[in-house]
Amino acid sequence: SVTVRIANDEGAALPVRVHQAVSPNGDGINDFLMIEGVRDYPENKVTIFDKSGKVMAEIEEYDNRNNVFPGGRTVRDGTYYYYL
């Protein structure tokens, strides 16, 4: 277990921003989980899990291009959680 704390001026934008909406319907809008700034942390790992805690995906080196969620995979409508 590792704890990471980000120290920044109050009100400053965080270096990583996760877009909360995903609608993988092929229209080019929110088709995958977009994580701004993730390329600055190439050795990352994103874990996606459902409301019951079941792991849906573990994606190493998430990059908003080749390694994304859902990555062409069909998932049901619902609320999902992530750990980055």
- Does the residue 4 lie in any domain? no
- Does the residue 6 lie in any domain? no
- Does the residue 54 lie in any domain? yes
Distance CA 41, CA 27 (A): 28
59-73: per-residue pLDDT in tens?
A: 999 999 888 886 455
- Does the residue 8 lie in any domain? no
Instruction: State residue 44's pLDDT score.
Output: 93
27-76: per-residue pLDDT in tens?
A: 888 888 899 989 888 899 999 998 899 998 899 999 998 888 864 556 77
pTM attached to this predicted model: 0.72
Q: 71 is in which domain, residue-wise?
A: 15-84
Beta bridge partners of 48: 57, 82
User: Total structural domains in the chain?
Assistant: 1
